[in-house]
Structure 1
Amino acid sequence: MALPRQQPPLWALPVAQRPSRLWAALPFTAAFILLFDIGILTTFTALVLLLPLAYWRPTRLAYRCVGKKAFGGLLVLVVQLFSPTELVLTAGEGIDHDKWVEKDAEGTVSKVLLPAKGIWISNHTTLADWLYLWSFTYLSSHSPSLYIALKSSLRRIPIIGWSIKMLGFVFLERNWARDAKPFARQLRQIGEETNRGGIDEKLALLLFPEGTIVTENTRAASKRFAVKTNTSQRSPIYASDYYTLPSILLSHVPPPELHLHVRAFPLAAIPLGDLSRLRRGALDNEGSAEEKAAFERWLRERWTEKEQLLARYRAEGSFVPARASKPKTARYGNAEEDDDDDDDGRRPGEHVWPIRLRHPFVWEALAAFCFFLPFLAVFFLWQHRALALEAAKHAAAWVGLSGGAVAGTAKAAKSCGCGNMAGQAAATAAHKLAGEL
């Protein structure tokens, strides 16, 4: 008697070959759309209500942090509720393997410790990359300080595009002739705002150097580029065939786990040339041809190492070897780690984080919706719009009267004829205050 053939799990099938889950997943899909849209609207409404803070330098950084923190928490929440999965975290050079992960009493990762400021560079395999990378920034406490370089067309998406523009994200035309000056200007503003936050202020600028995800349609262009630059081609495995935003969030078929390998390179180890030229007003100086060539070689070497790590993962299912010693750290220490496999069968150096909010769950869930305060504020203003208009009229009348009174004080001070310094100072202050009003 033949045994029934075991069907592979849905996540192992390309999206195009999966059976339709429209009706089976409809309740979860409707709940996701409702919850996510409410979260988007509360964050957007908060950004609109607080918009004046974005135009005042001392408060601009805090303004953007509020919106990013809320949206980052929302992403973690919807993944936790509708497409639960876990990140398997490993580390390479530049990371202190004994100290970079903190765990709770249950042995689950609760926090990762990374350098406060950095440019985060990632490969780009699917349009869902940003979803899990932003979730990871929640774990490293970089979510409120995240900036992502995006193609400029995204800024025109209603509400979402407007929101990411208000949050200060970087937009690129992907044409260096048009991008060079705006990109430099945006980076200078990000740097200035971060520096105003102090030396401990976090910053994570996320870049995808590959630009376009790898698909069957882009394979030919990738091959031509590899031949032209004499570099190795990328893997013919297209992650976008298996994981898309609709398949993850609407069909609720997430990957069973995601492996994220972190490496850190201190600024001094990167051939960036003479950085003394890059003072304010000189960001358009891209360095000499030799300096640019040196940096390009360095980046390609890192990309070659990335491909080698991916080859190991495809062959062994992990970025780290089973029993080999871990890579030496370049900056944060060289302490040895126990080579024994973990109790759950994980390799040494693999740490698991089920993507979820920290406790207390309810408090953080409410924070992801800005505690619904924007909706309450809009509702209050609408219910009391007549009172608000009346208060505005009284405020305008008070300003007019105060301005007249101050102007009169200034005139009297000028005509007193005493000529003392106190009178002149009072007249000057009165004129300034009248001008401000």
Structure 2
Amino acid sequence: MCTVVRTVRRMARKGGGQRGISTAEWRRMRRPDCSNQPPPIQSQPPPPPTRVSRARRDPPIAKPPTAIPPPPFTPRPMAPLASDSVEFVPMSSSTSSAASADTPSSPTSLVSSSSQLSRVSSELSSSSISSVPTLNGSSSAGAGGSVVNGGLNGSVLAKRHIAASLKPKQPKMFQAVRFVSFVFYFTTAVLTINFTQLIGWPLRLISKDWSHAWVDYTKQSFGLVVTTMTQWWSPTPVHVVGDHSVAGLIVRTEDGRIETKFGEKAVLIANHQIYSDWLYMWWIAYTGHVHGNIYIILKESLKNIPFVGWGMQYFRFIFLSRRWEKDETRLHNAVTQINEDVDWPAWVLIFPEGTNITQSGIDKSHKYAQKFGYREPQHLLLPRARGLYYVLKHMNVPYLYDCTVAYEGVPRGGFGQDFFTLPSIYFEGRPPKSVNMHWRRFARAAIPLEDESEFESWLQKRWLEKDALLDSYYTNGHFDGEVLVDTEVKLKSVREILQVYAFPATVALAANVAWRVWQLLR
């Protein structure tokens, strides 16, 4: 329309509109040209209703504190130990120099800052389990966090991924089959042993020797059960190493098993890594043919476990409450009874640390070391000497055998219970890749038993030597020694497992025969 108006005005100025409109002008008239008009007014949406903001409704949220990076690892100096009457053979210098050349000088080079720890944790959480490398030796600490006070202070997620990468998990269906079969076997075996114990309980009223033999028979049966559990549901290679003191006492048989010749009377000590330590030590007793004559010193709470704890009480295991006024009486009664049974073998197993190594245990051990001025080991808890001192002083044994246990797959500074638990070992099919043992023997006559403080000092030195052995293992991946036997946990014959069910089967058969005879006589 604006073009038409301009055309009409132009024609009016030329003469009142006498001339017609040309074609070009007509085309221009039809072409829209509104450049001079103001832009159209766009409709605006209605303003939103006024409301009180969340900042006015809710109180301000405090910002989380900034994460403080963990302090760097500073290893405690290992001063040379004072020599005493018992000889200790350290690692050879050639091996030590080769190991030091291949490993970093300090674990702080693995994780130098909290940002690196966050990056590692994010990579582990975003990647699949199969992409996480298997960690062992000194380089393992970097995947879980920095090493502080001997503990692995990394994220829980990183620890779980590392544990999952140690050995691939079995399919869910396979785990279910393992679980059902294990529970069926273990439950039937334990109930059978409990039934056998109940039937033989009146023997103590008839003869002490008969009762002792019956107790050892049931204890032997349970030793076969735990050995079968490991052989069938948790097959694991075992590397047994010893120094010159056990030369000739650990031998390998033709079928690949080992036999230990520690004698009929002995006291065994070991460091406590995971909950299955006592199972492997019971297997060691099986290799020495004394799995029916072992006495394990345990904490008191374990005797209340249904069926299993009741059976352990019948086995005459020694339960301690960590109160010396009670424990002294229990140790006195147990040791006196063992000494009276002169003709019966007896192995006493004790874990001087009292519990498996954890961060809370390290904290308690640190307080104990500060209280009495002891040097702290890097890979162990400080031992408690009183119970072991009482056993060695009052029990007639010629030797003390010391075992240092390490499990392949637990990184330096890590806790075994974070990687290997009883469900993961027997249900999920993730046992340790190998069990490593280092054995030493000490003559009882060479141990200072005249004074408890002297014995405690002697034990602390032995524990620092064990710590040096573990440090060598984490560096080299194996123990060094003069005796080396590679084997696995297994029975001499599968027929041995029938011993567990022999007596109940005999009772059932006799009852069936008696019932049929009674029916015929009627």
Check whether TM > 0.5. Answer: yes
Question: Match of 1:357, as an amino acid?
Answer: L
- 1:319-349 Cα deviation digits (max 9, x unpaired): 216xxxx4xxxxxxxxxxxxxxxxxxxxxx3
Indicate if the aligned counterparts of 1:72 and 1:138 stay in contact, CA closer than 8 A.
yes
In the other structure, the counterpart of 1:101 is: 250
In the other structure, the counterpart of 2:498 is: 366
Pairwise CA distance, 1:135: 1.3
Three-state SS of the structure 1 residue aligned to 2:426 is: helix
Identity of aligned residues (%): 27
CA 1:92–1:381 in 2, change beyond 3 Å: closer, same or farther? same
Three-state SS of the structure 2 residue aligned to 1:255 is: coil
**Which of 463, 474, 477 lines up with 1:317 in the alignment?**
477
Three-state SS of the structure 1 residue aligned to 2:359 is: coil
- 1:294-332 Cα deviation digits (max 9, x unpaired): 1111111111111111111111122216xxxx4xxxxxx
User: Max radius of gyration: which structure?
Assistant: 2
Structure showing greater relative contact order (alpha-carbon pairs closer than 8 Å, 6 or more residues apart): 1
Question: Match of 2:426, as an amino acid?
Answer: L
Indicate if the aligned counterparts of 1:15 and 1:247 stay in contact, CA closer than 8 A.
no
Larger deviation: 48-57 or 144-153?
Answer: 48-57
Indicate if the aligned counterparts of 2:200 and 2:211 stay in contact, CA closer than 8 A.
no
Question: Match of 1:219, as an amino acid?
Answer: I
Indicate if the aligned counterparts of 1:142 and 1:202 stay in contact, CA closer than 8 A.
yes
Indicate if the aligned counterparts of 1:49 and 1:374 stay in contact, CA closer than 8 A.
no
In the other structure, the counterpart of 2:261 is: 113
Indicate if the aligned counterparts of 2:269 and 2:350 stay in contact, CA closer than 8 A.
yes
CA 1:292–1:387 in 2, change beyond 3 Å: closer, same or farther? farther
Three-state SS of the structure 1 residue aligned to 2:292 is: helix
State the distance in 1 between where 2:476 and 2:434 align: 15
In the other structure, the counterpart of 1:296 is: 456
In the other structure, the counterpart of 1:150 is: 298
Question: Match of 2:239, as an amino acid?
Answer: V
CA 1:22–1:234 in 2, change beyond 3 Å: closer, same or farther? farther
**What are structure 2's unaligned runs of at least 5 residues?**
1-127, 141-157, 380-412
Pairwise CA distance, 1:219: 2.7
State the distance in 2 between where 1:75 and 1:123 align: 20
Question: Match of 1:232, as an amino acid?
Answer: E
1:202 corresponds to 2:333: no
**Which of 305, 312, 332 lines up with 1:164 in the alignment?**
312
Pairwise CA distance, 1:209: 0.8
**Which of 203, 220, 242 lines up with 2:363 in the alignment?**
220
CA 1:215–1:79 in 2, change beyond 3 Å: closer, same or farther? same
State the distance in 1 between where 2:272 and 2:447 align: 22
Indicate if the aligned counterparts of 2:299 and 2:319 stay in contact, CA closer than 8 A.
yes
Pairwise CA distance, 1:151: 1.3
State the distance in 1 between where 2:377 and 2:254 align: 44
Pairwise CA distance, 1:242: 1.0
**Which of 377, 393, 398 lines up with 1:233 in the alignment?**
377
1:281-360 mapped onto 2 (5 Å cutoff): 291-320=451-480, 326=482, 349-358=483-492
**What are structure 1's unaligned runs of at least 5 residues?**
274-290, 327-348, 389-437
Provide the aligned length of Structure 1 versus Structure 2. 331
In the other structure, the counterpart of 1:259 is: 436
Indicate if the aligned counterparts of 2:257 and 2:490 stay in contact, CA closer than 8 A.
no
Indicate if the aligned counterparts of 2:235 and 2:488 stay in contact, CA closer than 8 A.
yes
State the distance in 2 between where 1:218 and 1:383 align: 57
CA 1:149–1:136 in 2, change beyond 3 Å: closer, same or farther? same
CA 1:158–1:216 in 2, change beyond 3 Å: closer, same or farther? same
Larger deviation: 22-31 or 168-177?
Answer: 22-31
State the distance in 1 between where 2:177 and 2:315 align: 32
- 1:369-401 Cα deviation digits (max 9, x unpaired): 232x3155258659968999xxxxxxxxxxxxx
Indicate if the aligned counterparts of 1:88 and 1:352 stay in contact, CA closer than 8 A.
yes
**Which of 180, 189, 207 lines up with 1:30 in the alignment?**
180
